């Protein structure tokens, strides 16, 4: 195959890869986004209910030298929503993982005929087994720190229940305000995009590695969306071109996502 033809084919495959991923993840992101918003609403209501119960203890909390009492109060609210949160992320991850695996197999065409990689694969099971719990723990920790700061500020400044509750409502309302990443509108959407994208890309790499182990030599490349908001490290990863499926890109990552909300995708192909 000539260099010009190979370049043209690469450009076509890059566009097809991006379109395939977008079509696969969009409905999964929307569904998870709705679940995340519901969980945040439940957390807010649960925390406000617990604040009502401890209104008489505000002076004691104010005099506390540690954050333990505040964390205990917050944890009660977060624990009440942990199970539905884990279930929502787990379902989204399963669906995205399966979509990512199927996309790579489809990309390979006839060289992957008869090959399958599904959720019963040991590596898929291992990834999904810990994914939801770990991600919910990380999300909850970010939420906990933000709420603790509000409660600490309220205690230190002598806020009553009404002012403290208003600050908490405002904090949860921030989850719907614009974020620094212009393609992402709020924290709930950031979580949905990140969780779905992580599972999709993890499956893409694992499937490519399995094909490689089965005797089809696979190489991979890093695909960005190509606009002005792409970071320098993601551009450097793309500039590296095609590398071995087990190699790392210049940023040290073996696949996207490089950070929460990253819009990059992994490309794979049989080595010529």
- pLDDT tens-digit readout, 121-137: 888 888 888 888 899 99
Q: Is residue 242 part of a domain?
A: no
Asked if the structure places residue 259 within a domain, the reply is no
* Per-residue pLDDT tens over the stretch 161-202: 889 899 999 999 887 666 555 667 788 999 999 999 999 999
Q: Which residue range forms the structural domain that includes residue 70?
A: 3-216
Cβ neighbours of residue 83 closer than 8 Å, sequence gap 6 or more: none
Mention every residue, 6+ apart, whose C-beta is less than 8 A from residue 192: 29, 30, 32, 33, 36, 92
- Would the CA dihedral through 230, 34, 123, 214 be positive or negative? negative
Q: Name 127's bridge partners.
A: none
* pLDDT beyond 60 at 87: yes
The span from the CA of 233 to the CA of 38, in Å, is 35
Domain count, the chain: 1
**Average pLDDT in the chain:** 88
Q: Where are the alpha helices (DSSP H) in 54-121?
A: 58-63, 68-108
Phi, then psi, of 181 in degrees rounded to 5: -85, 115
Both structure tokens of 130: 């810990």
Residue 207 pLDDT: 94
CB of 187 closer than 8 Å to CB of 174: yes
Burial (CB count within 10 angstroms: exposed 0-12, middle 13-18, buried 19+), residue 91: middle
Where residue 34 falls among pLDDT bands split at 50, 70, 90? very high
Of 8 and 163, more confident: 163
3-state secondary structure 137-204: HHHHHHHHHHHHHHHHHHHHCCCCHHHHHHHHHHHHHHCCCCCCCCCCCCHHHHHHHHHHHHHHHHHH
Distance CA 235, CA 259 (A): 14
Evaluate whether residue 222 is within a structural domain. Answer: no
Residue 173 CA from chain centroid, whole number: 21
Q: What percent of the chain has pLDDT over 70?
A: 92
Residue 267 lies in a domain: no
Cis peptide before 73 (omega within 30 of 0): no
Identify whether the C-beta of residue 196 lies closer than 8 Å to the C-beta of residue 202: no
Residue 52 CA to its chain's centroid (Å): 34
> What is the rounded distance in angstroms from the CA atom of residue 262 to the CA atom of residue 197?
8
In a domain, 261, yes or no: no
pLDDT of residue 91: 95
Any domain includes 226: no
Whether 99 and 204 have beta carbons less than 8 Å apart is answered as no
> Which pair of tokens denotes residue 216?
């089809």
Identify the pLDDT of residue 211: 93
Residue 147 and residue 161: Cα distance in Å, rounded?
Answer: 14
Residue 249 lies in a domain: no
User: Is 265 a member of any domain?
Assistant: no
The confidence band for 11, taking pLDDT boundaries of 50, 70 and 90, is confident
């Amino acid at each position: 195959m000539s260099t010009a033809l190979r370049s043209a084919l690469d450009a076509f495959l890059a566009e097809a890869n991006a379109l395939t991923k977008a079509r696969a993840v969009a409905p999964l992101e929307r569904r998870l986004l709705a679940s995340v918003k519901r969980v945040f609403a439940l957390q807010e209501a649960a925390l406000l209910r617990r604040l009502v119960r401890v209104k008489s203890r505000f002076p004691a909390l104010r005099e506390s030298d540690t954050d333990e009492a505040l964390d205990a109060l917050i944890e009660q609210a977060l624990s009440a929503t942990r199970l539905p949160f884990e279930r929502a992320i787990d379902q989204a991850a399963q669906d995205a993982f399966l979509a990512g695996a199927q996309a790579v197999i489809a990309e390979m065409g006839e060289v992957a005929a008869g090959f399958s990689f599904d959720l019963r694969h040991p590596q898929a099971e291992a990834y999904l087994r810990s994914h939801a719990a770990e991600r919910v723990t990380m999300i909850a920790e970010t939420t906990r720190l933000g709420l603790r700061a509000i409660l600490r500020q309220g205690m230190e400044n002598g806020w009553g229940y009404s002012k403290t509750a208003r600050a908490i409502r405002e904090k949860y309302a921030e989850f719907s305000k614009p974020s620094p990443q212009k393609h992402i509108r709020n924290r709930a959407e950031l979580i949905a995009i990140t969780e779905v994208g992580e599972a999709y890309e993890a499956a893409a790499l694992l499937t490519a590695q399995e094909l490689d182990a089965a005797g089809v030599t696979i190489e991979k490349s890093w695909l960005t969306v190509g606009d002005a908001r792409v970071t320098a490290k993601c551009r450097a990863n793309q500039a590296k071109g095609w590398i071995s499926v087990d190699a790392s890109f210049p940023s040290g990552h073996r696949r996207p996502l490089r950070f929460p909300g990253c819009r990059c995708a992994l490309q794979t192909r049989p080595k010529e």
